[in-house]
A and B are shown apart, each in its own frame.
Chain A
């Protein structure tokens, strides 16, 4: 077996090794957190659509994402209902309202969905529990999202407070999550929605849901609808609307840029830390490396040694970085009460591992120049 020079050189200076591992772990952690937030954002943006029991969606072309929507005529939904393959159409009304925390009496924006209580809008059966259905039909009553931030106050059924400066009673709870757009959500009947957001005409809707018969092909129906309906609506299948929402948040807001920049800067920090460590190590061993060259070792061997050191640092730094990230993901989930679906994905874990390796190898390539140029004659 070859003498593991890279490993022994690294482990010889314990303090320096620990600092190096901490540095790489820190960079790994920063990358994981940035990618985690970005992933959670993309996921939470699309989360709401995955909970709708619908295959095709109608939106106004002016709707940027679900919370920045422009209402469009409800007739489009009636028109869609006549198409072959369509089983059911359901309107959604959506908008922000001021919710008063019943304890602190502070107002806060909450995102409100209005639906027809008879429509099976959501996949989760909890929405249609007898208690919730009953509450949906009562006037001035709303359901509240369990994933709403605690700042909104009590979620107990029977809590009385104000929404849009109008008395409202909490009738029950559900689980949905507002993602990045909303700290909390409410669900109420279309009649109540009209009351709280007066004057909001019920013939203008925010999102149109279309449920297809089981054997219909969403792409074909969506294409047929798009061809037939006037241009004041766009027709999207579920994957399309999820993608549209993601693109909005990641590409056309500063959010994608911010987290992308975060990843880039974390990588630069990592490269600099590893470069410093490797460079110091090389500088300390300059005489030894020059001696190896004098003995007949080629520059390639020295390059290999430094790259091995870099790979060892990458792996040793990645492991604690990965573990701490898991902990921080958990912390984030509990801090947002599950509202931010941040979690580890194996693609991301692999991506960050490869990123860490290339980061360290890049540092090695920068710092190794010194060894390659080492003149063995200078040792004498």
Chain B
């Protein structure tokens, strides 16, 4: 089957990954084949140690691919130099379990750090404020993280990930540190933004309460793709 390249955000072929060297070498991913079409929200689940996060960091160009083929946003990243990987990462939004905000910077400044990557100086504040407002933080733009709740901090982190309009968003347990209500809010906001801007989201989560936002759920067990289930929306 031939694909139109631009309709796929991520294309993985026969991807394997190993940790360690020599005798300690241990395989964590086995022959993964996966396509993520643009605009899809995909949730990846699976037991601990099944390789979910490793797969996510590979797609995020944070690790070097050892075996197989991995195309992210129409670019083959196997064999790219470190510097080239950094360039690839600039088109990806990352959301982590911990918010990883600079305590010394205000919400707006934390988001502006992302805008500065594009060498845009004039309207960076405006863009940051706009993004934070979309996430319901209009009255919190000049607060430092210490004055924000857990859910608010995670929303700042999401604003930071999305402010540059990345085509691909990778999230690793974005709700794990949040209570039920804030978790729900955060995911709903992500869903709305993804739908309105046509982003692809790949989210690793154990949180059963949020599975309904997904278009598709894939399960990874012991480094192999176990199930791949599309949900009627």
Contacts and interface: CB of A to CB of B under 8 A. Distances in A.
Interface of A: 1-3, 5, 8-9, 11-12, 285, 287-288, 290-298, 375-377, 379-380
Contact of B100 (A2, A12, A288, A297): A288
Given A3-B105, A295-B117, A379 B86 contact: no
A158 B68 CA distance: 104
24 contacts: A5-B113, A8-B102, A8-B105, A287-B98, A288-B100, A288-B101, A288-B102, A290-B100, A292-B113, A293-B86, A294-B94, A295-B94, A296-B87, A296-B89, A296-B90, A297-B117, A375-B62, A376-B62, A377-B57, A379-B96, A380-B57, A380-B62, A380-B96, A380-B97
Given A8-B102, A9-B104, A12-B104, A296 B117 contact: yes
Interface in B71-88: 83, 86-87
Interface residues of B, number: 30
B46 interface: no
Contacts of B114: 295
B83 A298 contact: yes
B104 A11 contact: yes
B103 A12 contact: yes
A8 B109 contact: yes
By Cβ-Cβ distance, the 4 closest A-B pairs, closest first, are: A12-B104, A296-B90, A377-B62, A291-B100
A5 B63 contact: no
A305 to B, nearest CB: 11
Contacts of A2: 116, 121
Q: Which of B86, B100, B103, B116 has the most CB of A within 10 A?
A: B100
Interface of B: 53, 56-57, 60, 62-63, 83, 86-87, 89-90, 94, 96-98, 100-105, 109, 112-114, 116-117, 121, 160, 172
Given A288-B102, A296-B86, A377-B62, 7 more contacts: A285-B102, A292-B113, A294-B60, A295-B114, A296-B117, A297-B86, A377-B57
Nearest to A9: B104
Contacts of A11: 104
Nearest to A13: B104
Contacts of A291: 94, 96, 100
Nearest to B58: A377
A282 to B, nearest CB: 13
A8 B104 contact: yes
Nearest to A294: B94
A157 B129 CA distance: 82
Contacts of B96: 291, 379-380
The majority secondary structure among interface residues of chain A is helix
Contacts of A377: 57, 62-63
Contacts of B62: 294, 375-377, 380
Nearest to B94: A294
Nearest to B57: A377
Contacts of A298: 83, 86
A379 B94 CA distance: 10
A293 B117 CA distance: 11
B97 to A, nearest CB: 8
A380 B172 contact: yes
Contacts of B83: 298
A287 B100 contact: yes
A294 B90 CA distance: 8
Nearest to B118: A296
A375 B19 CA distance: 15
Contacts of A1: 121
Q: Which of A12, A293, A376 has the most CB of B within 10 A?
A: A376
A296 B115 CA distance: 11
Nearest to B53: A380
B94 A3 contact: no
A380 B56 CA distance: 9
A311 to B, nearest CB: 17
Contact of B90 (A12, A295, A380): A295
B102 A9 contact: yes
Contacts of B90: 295-296
Contact of A5 (B87, B97, B105): B105
A1 B124 CA distance: 9
Contacts of B117: 295-297
Nearest to B114: A295
A293 B121 CA distance: 20
